[in-house]
Amino acid sequence: MRTDTIPLVRSARPVLSPESEPVAASAEPVTGAEIFVRALEAEGVEVVFGHPGGAVIHIYDEIARLKPRFQHILVRHEQGGTHMAEGYAKATGRVGTVLVTSGPGATNTITGIADAYMDSIPIVVFTGQVPTKLIGNDAFQETDTIGITRSITKHSFLVRDVRDLAWTIKAAYHIARTGRPGPVVVDLPKDVLLAKAPFAYPEEVHLRGYRLPGPPDPERIREAAELIAASRRPLLYVGGGTINANAADLLTQLARKARIPVTTTLHGLGAFPEDDPLSLGMLGMHGTWYANQAVQHADLIIAVGARFDDRVTGRVDSWAPYAKVIHIDIDPSCISKNVPVDCAIVGDVREVLEQLLPLVEPKDTKEWLAKIEYWRNECPLTYEKGDGKLRAQYVIERIRARTGGHAVVVTDVGQHQMWTAQYFRFLHPRTHITSGGLGTMGFGLPAAIGAAFGLRGRSDWPVVCISGDGGFVMNAQELGVAAAHRLPIKVAIINNNFLGMVRQWQELFHENRFSHTDLSDTNPDFVKLAEAFHCVGLRATRPEEVDAVLDEAWKVNDRPVVIDFQVVKEELVFPMVPAGASTSEMITKRLTPNAFV
Amino acid sequence: MQTEMDMPTLTPQQILRKRKAGEPLLPGELEQVHRHTIAVLLENTIGALIRVVNLFSARGFNLESVTVGETDDPTVSRMTIVTTGNDRIIGQVLRQLDRLIDTLHVEDLTGGSFVERELCLLKVRYTNETRAAIMDTAEIFRGKVVDITPNTMTFELTGPTSKIEAFIKLMQPHGILEVARSGRVAMRRSSGSWLTHEDPILNLSSER
């Protein structure tokens, strides 16, 4: 077996299709650093989120010299950079780009890469590397980046020869973007960036081991249409794959045509307008009672671009016990991974829905919808009002009222995230960005910044970051980036001076032992923190102040606004399926006495 | 003795799902775990090999035996993987392997007819009294002496795993000094090369 230290032989390289002319080229040999910059231009990259360092200093030199068409955003921490690339990708549907140096630069991107892997977000992370001769010598700022990232990337490349650089960059973007999207790491040794080669950026690459789903099987689609026609209690279970495939409009048409109620996952929010009577909101651990009841009583579940995550299914063997399952997904490895399905359609969700839609007839689901209405009235989403205390749910409802749902909402992870999912009532795809699979605290602020860069020139909808006090602090330094670029993002900190979701578990399952979740001693003054970063800082502590503070925040157009919403700490996210319990066993209200009341 | 009271209430759908996954229906029922031999063609690089092996540890799949070697095409190597699991897990193993960009072809040989062989080198102590008996046994197993010293013999033996294991067992009383086994290599019996039909769920078109 050949080792990687020997340069790849020619035939191992991807075959360029013969008619494919390079889209950009120069016959004169140029440095790898210049090839890198030109390749990104040729790829149509708009924004690079990066941080310089020794191993990539030549790329930064070329950025200064060549003044490329893409904009480089200097981030304050590489983790922030990866989340920005994720936010950019989620908001635009384009591939996000990150550029960092070797060693700590690379290791700081790990959390963002893992996050993008779990949530199928297309990003390409370029990491500097020590010169190839020093690899393995424990050189200064050396880490085995490919080794460390192997299980959290869709694919990764170590470029050992400057002649491989251009096609590798092309391949990285191709892999990140196509099929089930995901992160790709390209490791760039310093000597490769200094070596010279002629530049030719191929229009396309063919990787012999990279297989994409072909057109969906029409037989399976007919089978699905028959299952839908035969069902009496059908339910659409919609995930983020629907939004990735830009298929929200078709999904909405399908649901309305066949009168099938729709529940979405956390990442599916926005795929179906939540003001439609057919919408049941989110399902799963903190989904609505009525969505989960519908799951447990449905006789057919149509899973669209969803992966039967444990936060959705709870105890998997008691999930949807009466339902046949149709699963539409682009990733064959998702099929029957957690729940064996009755009809699997592998393919692009948009293509599948295009073909399924004409085969589905309008259905009479009145009885089923009436049953769901009964559940909706039995246990609606609600919280205590009128006691003069400020609650997160109210803040979220007021932000929703102000924007009319025409905003891109980016959340962090925790209670505020679940309340946003429950109460914001999303209308449009790509307007809800969050860290779902990995549950990365610290995701919200940088992802909102990335989304704001993505929306420039595309949309004038505001970017609203809803964060918790715990998660906000984890990447608060990126406020400096938002301020430097005068991004008018609104950051609503739902501040209960606690790690709220952990506190909730401690109250419900650990007898009120609030072990290391109280932040009141360590939290900063968020208003002052905002001001120190040249942002506007505002504060609200009572419900009647919320609208006025939002008024003030929405008047600011030339810099970020951070609003410290000081909410009650005792509030819990309900309803809730305890971890590992059956979806039928939802807790709908506080059962144990509250230690703080 | 199972009483009706102990039996979990399962809906027809739940029973169907458990059957499909090969999971036990009743408490005490054994899980239907099968041994599968999987052949994988992959890029002939260390990185590709690590990716495949890493997949097994990262996803918690069993890995009973793994062998790898270059094929007639020096850019392609071939792995033979022996793993165990129920139908759901084996399905996952195959699709996750297929999802790797460095794998070119994945084929589950189990279920069809295939040849499986292992190579074993075994060093055993002998005396003048045991020499004939050892040689007789080796003869029966078609073992070949590849090295001999005044008191040890090294045999080369190929065959299915069961044969290798039987030989090792018979040599044990004589005092085995060392055993080196290659792990299993396997190939489908037929005139064709690779199966043309793939997992119907995969529905993949190669970019090739």
- List the one residue out of A13, A365, A418 whose CA is nearest residue A205: A13
Query: Helix A392-403 crosses helix A543-555 at what angle (to 10 degrees)?
Result: 40
Q: Do A209 and B103 touch (CB under 8 A)?
A: yes
Of the CATH numbers 3.10.20.30, 2.80.10.50, 3.30.70.1150, 3.40.50.1360, which one belongs to the domain with range B115-187?
Answer: 3.30.70.1150
Nearest residue on chain B to A298, alpha-carbon basis: B13
- Which residue in the set A208, A321, A339 is minimally distant from B208, CB to CB? A208
* Concatenated DSSP letters of A447-483: HHHHHHHHHTTT--PPEEEEEEHHHHHHTGGGHHHHH
> Which token pair is B119?
């190579």
Average pLDDT on A261-284 reads 98
Total CB pairs under 8 A between chain A and B: 120
pLDDT computed for residue B201 by the predictor: 52
> Which token pair is B66?
């793994």
Distance from CA of B42 to the nearest CA of A (A): 8
Measured CA to CA, the distance from residue B202 to residue A352 in angstroms comes to 15
- Which residue in the set A9, A210, A332 is minimally distant from B75, CB to CB? A9
Average pLDDT on A53-59 reads 98
Which amino acid is located at B51 in the chain? R
Q: Do B18 and A175 touch (CB under 8 A)?
A: no
Task: Output phi, psi for A363, to 5 deg.
Answer: -115, 155
Query: In what helix (H) or strand (E) does residue A508 lie, and over which residues does it extend?
Result: helix A500-509
What's A218-378's CATH class? alpha beta
The CATH architecture annotation of domain A10-201 reads 3-Layer(aba) Sandwich (3.40)
Of the CATH numbers 3.30.70.260, 1.10.3720.10, 3.40.50.150, 1.10.287.3510, which one belongs to the domain with range B34-112?
Answer: 3.30.70.260
Q: Write the ipTM.
A: 0.88
- List the one residue out of A518, A528, A523 whose CA is nearest residue A562: A528
Q: Are A170 and A43 in contact (CB under 8 A)?
A: yes
Q: Are A261 and A232 in contact (CB under 8 A)?
A: no
What's A392-566's CATH class? alpha beta
Q: Is the pLDDT of residue A15 over 60?
A: no
Q: Do A332 and B58 touch (CB under 8 A)?
A: no
Distance from CA of B143 to the nearest CA of A (A): 28
Distance from CA of B106 to the nearest CA of A (A): 11
Query: In what helix (H) or strand (E) does residue A365 lie, and over which residues does it extend?
Result: none
Strand order in the sheet with A536-540: A432-433, A408-411, A463-468, A490-495, A561-566, A536-540
Instruction: Give me the percent of chain A exceeding a pLDDT of 70.
Output: 95
- Which residue in the set B11, B102, B202 is minimally distant from A346, CB to CB? B202
Structure confidence by residue, pLDDT tens digits, A469-495: 999 999 999 999 999 999 999 999 999
| Domain boundary assignment for chain B | 34-112, 115-187
Assign A287 to helix, strand or coil.
coil
Q: Do A214 and B100 touch (CB under 8 A)?
A: no
pLDDT computed for residue A35 by the predictor: 97
Active-site residues of A, by number, are 78, 140-141, 190, 501
pLDDT computed for residue A594 by the predictor: 45
Distance from CA of A192 to the nearest CA of B (A): 19
> Which token pair is B38?
């999987």
Structure confidence by residue, pLDDT tens digits, A379-416: 999 999 999 999 999 999 999 999 999 999 999 999 99
- pLDDT band for B191, please (50, 70, 90 cuts): low
Collect all residues of chain A within an 8 Å Cβ-Cβ radius of residue B11: 321-322
Average pLDDT on A198-223 reads 93
Query: A219-228, A290-299, A481-490, B30-39: lowest mean pLDDT where?
Result: B30-39
The yes-or-no answer to whether B34-112 and B115-187 have a common fold is yes
| Domain boundary assignment for chain A | 10-201, 218-378, 392-566
Q: Do B205 and A347 touch (CB under 8 A)?
A: no
B contact test, residue of A164, A210, A299, A327 with most B CBs within 10 A: A210
Q: Are A214 and B203 in contact (CB under 8 A)?
A: yes
The yes-or-no answer to whether A218-378 and A392-566 have a common fold is yes
> Which token pair is A526?
């968020």
Collect all residues of chain A within an 8 Å Cβ-Cβ radius of residue B74: 2, 9
